[in-house]
Amino acid sequence: MLNDALQDHVITHSFSDESGTVFFNQVTGETLGVSLSKEQLAKLLFATEIDTTVQPEEIVSLSRMIKLPLFYTESSDEF
Protein backbone atom coordinates (compact mmCIF):
# COMPACT_ATOMS: atom_id res chain seq x y z
CA MET A 1 0.00 0.00 0.00
CA LEU A 2 2.71 2.43 1.08
CA ASN A 3 4.98 1.19 -1.71
CA ASP A 4 2.41 2.24 -4.33
CA ALA A 5 2.50 5.79 -3.05
CA LEU A 6 6.27 6.25 -3.01
CA GLN A 7 7.79 8.96 -5.18
CA ASP A 8 10.09 7.77 -7.98
CA HIS A 9 13.36 6.12 -6.83
CA VAL A 10 12.30 6.14 -3.16
CA ILE A 11 12.53 3.02 -1.00
CA THR A 12 11.32 2.66 2.56
CA HIS A 13 11.61 0.62 5.74
CA SER A 14 9.34 0.56 8.78
CA PHE A 15 11.06 -0.63 11.94
CA SER A 16 9.86 -3.58 13.99
CA ASP A 17 9.64 -1.54 17.21
CA GLU A 18 7.05 0.68 15.47
CA SER A 19 9.16 3.74 16.28
CA GLY A 20 8.85 5.01 12.75
CA THR A 21 9.71 4.70 9.10
CA VAL A 22 12.74 5.70 7.09
CA PHE A 23 12.84 6.68 3.42
CA PHE A 24 15.77 6.75 1.03
CA ASN A 25 15.93 8.37 -2.39
CA GLN A 26 18.24 6.18 -4.47
CA VAL A 27 19.10 8.99 -6.87
CA THR A 28 19.71 11.94 -4.58
CA GLY A 29 20.75 9.98 -1.48
CA GLU A 30 18.29 11.99 0.62
CA THR A 31 17.27 10.12 3.75
CA LEU A 32 14.30 10.86 5.94
CA GLY A 33 13.13 9.33 9.20
CA VAL A 34 9.66 10.02 10.56
CA SER A 35 8.06 8.88 13.78
CA LEU A 36 5.11 7.32 11.95
CA SER A 37 4.56 3.60 11.58
CA LYS A 38 3.50 1.97 8.31
CA GLU A 39 -0.12 1.96 9.51
CA GLN A 40 -0.04 5.64 10.45
CA LEU A 41 1.42 6.47 7.06
CA ALA A 42 -1.28 4.44 5.30
CA LYS A 43 -3.93 6.38 7.26
CA LEU A 44 -2.29 9.58 6.11
CA LEU A 45 -2.42 8.46 2.49
CA PHE A 46 -6.12 7.66 2.59
CA ALA A 47 -7.18 10.57 4.78
CA THR A 48 -9.99 12.78 3.63
CA GLU A 49 -8.94 15.65 5.80
CA ILE A 50 -5.70 16.94 7.36
CA ASP A 51 -4.38 14.86 10.26
CA THR A 52 -3.41 17.54 12.78
CA THR A 53 -1.39 15.10 14.90
CA VAL A 54 1.31 14.99 12.23
CA GLN A 55 3.88 17.76 12.51
CA PRO A 56 3.79 20.26 9.61
CA GLU A 57 7.57 19.83 9.09
CA GLU A 58 7.06 16.07 8.71
CA ILE A 59 4.42 16.70 6.04
CA VAL A 60 6.77 18.95 4.08
CA SER A 61 9.56 16.37 4.20
CA LEU A 62 7.22 13.46 3.54
CA SER A 63 5.86 15.05 0.41
CA ARG A 64 9.33 14.60 -1.14
CA MET A 65 9.13 10.87 -0.44
CA ILE A 66 5.48 9.86 -0.84
CA LYS A 67 2.54 11.07 -2.90
CA LEU A 68 0.35 12.64 -0.24
CA PRO A 69 -3.28 13.63 -0.83
CA LEU A 70 -3.48 16.94 -2.61
CA PHE A 71 -4.82 18.89 0.36
CA TYR A 72 -1.60 18.16 2.27
CA THR A 73 0.67 19.44 -0.46
CA GLU A 74 -1.49 22.52 -0.96
CA SER A 75 -1.53 23.31 2.75
CA SER A 76 2.21 22.63 3.07
CA ASP A 77 2.82 25.81 1.06
CA GLU A 78 1.67 27.70 4.14
CA PHE A 79 4.22 26.05 6.44
Partner 1 sequence: MSSSVQYLLLPPFCFEVKTDIPFVASNLKQVYGPRLIDSAECPDYFVSVQKAEGIRKFYRPQARFFSDQQEPFQPLQQQQAYAMLEWGMNWCVASHEMQYVIIHAAVLAKGNKAILFPAPPGSGKSTLTAWLAFHGWRLLSDEMALIQPHSRQVTPFVRPICLKNNSIQLAKAWFPEGNFSTVASDTHKGDVIHLSPPESSWQQHTEPAEIVGIVFPNYKVDTTLDIYQLTKTQGFMQFATNAFNYGVIGTQGFSTLCNVIEQVPSFEIFYNDLSAVSEFLLQELIDGSC
Q: Which residues bind partner 1 (CB under 8 A)?
A: 11, 13, 15-17, 19-22, 24, 26, 29, 31, 33-35
Shortest distance (Å) from residue 4 CB to partner 1: 19
37 vs 63, beta carbon nearer partner 1: 37
Long-range contacts of residues 2-5, Cβ cutoff 8 Å, at least 24 apart: 2/38, 2/41, 2/42, 2/45, 2/66, 5/45, 5/66, 5/67, 5/68
1 vs 11, beta carbon nearer partner 1: 11
